[in-house]
Amino acid sequence: MREPASKATPLVTLRINGRAVTVPVGTSVAAALAMTDRFVSRADLSGRPRGPLCGMGVCFECRATIDGVPEVLMCLTPCREDQEVVTDA
């Protein structure tokens, strides 16, 4: 007899601007950012806060440095265990 599949959703923990965030596997980094209390990915030239807008890689508002690689689109990047995300905001 087969064991029933576990219904528990696997989780991963990453760090966004030094803060640990735990999310379900498959969550985009932009969605993980939205789960924090500061949904700001960068500032414009005037210093006004900007955040992920389109969620599909078109607006480029979600650019961040991920694992040392700059200008990565958070909305197209899935979260991984021990991932380091640094926003420009």
**pLDDT tens sequence across 37-66:** 888 999 989 999 999 999 999 999 999 999
CB 35 within 8 A of CB 23: yes
**pLDDT tens sequence across 25-44:** 999 999 999 999 888 999 98
CA-to-CA distance for 88 and 43, rounded, in angstroms?
7
pTM: 0.86
In the structure, what pLDDT confidence band is assigned to residue 8 with cuts at 50, 70 and 90?
A: confident
Average pLDDT of the chain, as a whole number: 92
Give every strand in the sheet of 69-73, ordered side by side: 19-24, 11-16, 84-86, 63-66, 69-73
Instruction: Give the pLDDT score at 7.
Output: 78
CA-to-CA distance for 9 and 45, rounded, in angstroms?
40
